[in-house]
Structure 1
Amino acid sequence: MDTFNPMELSPYRVFSKAEWARLRADTPMTLSAEEVQQLQAYNDQVSLEEVEAIYLPLARLLSMYVEATQALHATTNRFLGRDDGQIPFVIGIAGSVAVGKSTTARLLQALLSRWPTSPTVDLVPTDGFLFPNAVLEAEGLMERKGFPESYDLKSLLAFLHDVKSGVASVEAPVYSHLTYDVVDGETIRVDRPDILILEGLNVLQTSRLSRESRGIPFVSDFFDYSIYIEADEEVLHRWYMERFMRLKGTRFHDPRSYFHKYADISDDEALTFANRLWNRINLVNLRENIRPTRPRADLILSKNAEHRIETVALRKI
C-alpha cells in the first residue's frame, strides 16, 4: 500500500536558496552594494549576494507576470473594441512586524524599475491608512493598532479602486514612524504607474466588511501577485526587541518622537516595556490575523535567524 505524503497536496513548490538562485538565468545585477545597504529598513540585514540569489530571480518572475498580464489586458481590449489604457500591476507584500517587508518592497521597487522596459514602479505602505491616533484613542483602539480594525479600510479600497481604474494622480496618506501617527496633509501621489507595490501587515486579510464596501470584499482582490514573508515567532520577537533598543538609543531622543519619554529609562525597563508591547499587541496580531493569511500568498519567503532567506515557496496551483 502506497504511503500518503501530505506534501504532494501542497499548493506550493518549495525551492532552496541554491535552487531558486539558478532561476536568475542571465538577469544582470543593477544594484551596487552601497545601494542595497541604503535600501535596507531599520535593523534589517540583506547582502548583495542575497539580492542576486533571491531578489533577482523574483524580479525576473514578476517582470514576466507583468508582461503577460499587460498582454492579456490588451487582448481583452481588442475583443471589446476599446482602449482602456494600461492597468497597473499590483503586488502585495504581507508579513509580521519586524520581518523585513519594507526592505523587500524597496529592493523589488529598485530592481523592477531598472528592468529593460523601464517601468514606473510606485511603493505605498499601508501604514498611511491607519486611522489617526486621535481616532484610535477615541474608539479605544490604540492597543489594537495594526489589527484589521485599526485601518481606514474604506479609504484603502477606494485608493486601490482608483489606481486599478487608471485614475490619474491618486493620493495615499503618509505615516510617520517618528511621531507614530498619520501625517496631516502629507500624501504619496500615484499617477498611473506600470507597477504598484503595496506592503503592510494585513494586506491579505479576509475579514468581513460592512455593507458600505459595495461588494468589494478584500484588499487582495486588487492584487495581481502577493508575497508573504515569514520567520519563527522567537526570531521575530528578538528582531523586534533589537529594533526597539536601537531606536531607544537613536530616534527616541528626538523630542518629536512618540516614544521620546522612553529614551532615558534604563535598558531593563525598556526591555520590559518592549516585551509587553510584543506579547500584548504584535504577537496576538501575528497569530490571529497575519499568519492565517499565509496560505493566500502566491509566493512565500522564509527567513532564518540571521535575516537570510532560506527557502522560497512558489504557488503552483
Structure 2
Amino acid sequence: MLQAALDVVVPFARGRQGRVVVGICGPPAAGKSTLSSALAEALQDVHIGLSSVAVPMDGFHLSNVELDRLGLADRKGAPETFDSAGFVHLLRRLRAGEDLVYAPAYSRTLHESIGGVIPVPSSVRVIVVEGNYLLLEHGPWASVRDLLDLVLYLDAPDEVRQESLVRRQLAKGLDLPEAQDWVSRSDEANASVIAATRNRADLILTR
C-alpha cells in the first residue's frame, strides 16, 4: 500500500514546481493515518529527498463542549461536527506557502483537538493531508478538492474496518454492545457518505 502510494506521489511531485498537497481520503479505520504518516516519512528518505509533513483533518474536530451545546455529541465524526471552514482556511495558508503554519491534531487519549502542534515551514515540499471528507461536494467541504493536487482514496473491507472501530470505542470506555451500536449507527453512516465520493479521487488503493 505504501509502495503503491509512493509510485504515484514521487513522480507526481518531482514533475511539479513548488509545494504539492496530496490528500488521503477514505472511510473510518481504513488506515489513512497510518498511511499518511508512513508516506510523509518515506518521502524524506535520502534516496527520495522530498521534505514532507502529514496534516490530519481530524485536528478540526469541534470540542466536546461545543458538540454538547449543538446536540451533536452522538454524531461526533459526521461532517457537521468539524470546523470545515477552518480546515479550508488552513489548506489555503498551506498552499500559499506562508513562512510557518501551525496545524492542529487530534488526541485519541484526550478525545479533543489540540492546536498548534504540527509546524509546517515554507520549505516543506509535500504536504500529506489525511481525512474522511476531502471529496465532499457541499458546504465549505466543497472547496477542499481544488486545494489538493492529488487525492488517493484508501479503502478496506468492511469487516476489517468495523472490527477496528469497535476496538477504538472499547478503548474509550464503552462496553461491547455500546461500541457496536456506535459503529453501526454513527461510523458506518459516515462511511456511506464517504464511499459516495470515491469517484472524485485520482487513485483508489485497497488495504
Letter in 1 for 2:13: V
CA contact (8 A) 1:129 1:152 kept: yes
8 Å contact 1:56–1:111 — kept in the other structure?
A: no
Q: Are residue 275 (structure 1) and residue 184 (structure 2) matched? A: no
Q: Distance in 2 between matches of 1:150 and 1:242?
A: 22
RCO higher in 1 or 2 (8 Å CA, sep ≥ 6)? 2
Secondary structure (helix, strand or coil) at the match of 1:154 reads helix
- Give 1:57 shift: 4.3
Cα distance in structure 2, aligned partners of 1:56 and 1:231: 17
Runs of 4+ more than 2 Å apart? 54-58, 231-235, 241-245
Segments of structure 2 that go 5 or more residues without pairing to the other structure are none
Q: Judge conservation of contact 2:136–2:142 (CA < 8 Å) in 1.
A: no
The code of the aligned residue for 1:230 comes to D
Match of 2:50 among 111, 119, 129: 119
Secondary structure (helix, strand or coil) at the match of 2:139 reads coil
Work out the CA distance in 2 between the residues paired with 1:90 and 1:148.
Answer: 21
- Partner of 1:69, secondary structure, is coil
1:224 matched to 2:149? yes
SS in 1 for 2:34: helix
**Structure 1 residue 231 displacement after superposition:** 2.2
What amino acid maps onto 1:226 in structure 2? V
* Distance (Å, rounded) in 1 between the aligned partners of 2:4 and 2:46: 12
The equivalent residue for 2:9 is 62
Give the structure 2 partner of residue 139 of structure 1: 70
Kindly tell me: are residues 136 and 242 of structure 1, through their superposed partners in 2, closer, same or farther at Cα, counting changes over 3 Å? closer
* Matching residue within 174, 189, 214 for 2:119: 189
Partners of 1:190 and 1:224 lie apart in 2 by 18
Q: Give the equivalent residue in structure 1 for 2:203.
A: 299
CA contact (8 A) 2:26 2:132 kept: yes
- Unaligned 5+ segments in structure 1 are 1-53, 71-85, 210-215, 248-258, 263-268, 304-317
CA separation of 1:119/1:127 partners in 2, compared to 1, >3 Å: closer, same or farther?
A: same
Q: Distance in 1 between matches of 2:139 and 2:7?
A: 35
Alignment partners' CA distance in 2, 1:99 and 1:182: 21
TM-score normalised by L of structure 2: 0.91
3-state secondary structure, aligned to 1:98: coil
Please give the residue correspondences for 1:146-295 in structure 2 after superposition, counting only pairs within 5 Å.
146-183=77-114, 186-192=116-122, 193-209=124-140, 217-245=142-170, 247=171, 259=172, 262=173, 270-287=175-192, 289-295=193-199
Is 2:55 the counterpart of 1:108?
no
CA contact (8 A) 1:147 1:202 kept: no
RMSD: 1.9
Cα pair distance change 1:149/1:275, threshold 3 Å: same
Partner AA of 2:165 in structure 1: Y
How far off is 1:115 after superposition? Answer: 5.0
| Change over 3 Å in CA distance of 1:111–1:207 after alignment to 2 | same
Distance of 2:48 and 2:157 partners within structure 1: 38
Q: Distance in 1 between matches of 2:13 and 2:195?
A: 27
Q: Percent identity?
A: 30
Q: TM-score normalized by structure 1?
A: 0.61
Counterpart AA for 1:281: S
Supply the distance in 1 between the matched residues of 2:167 and 2:76 (Cα, whole angstroms).
20
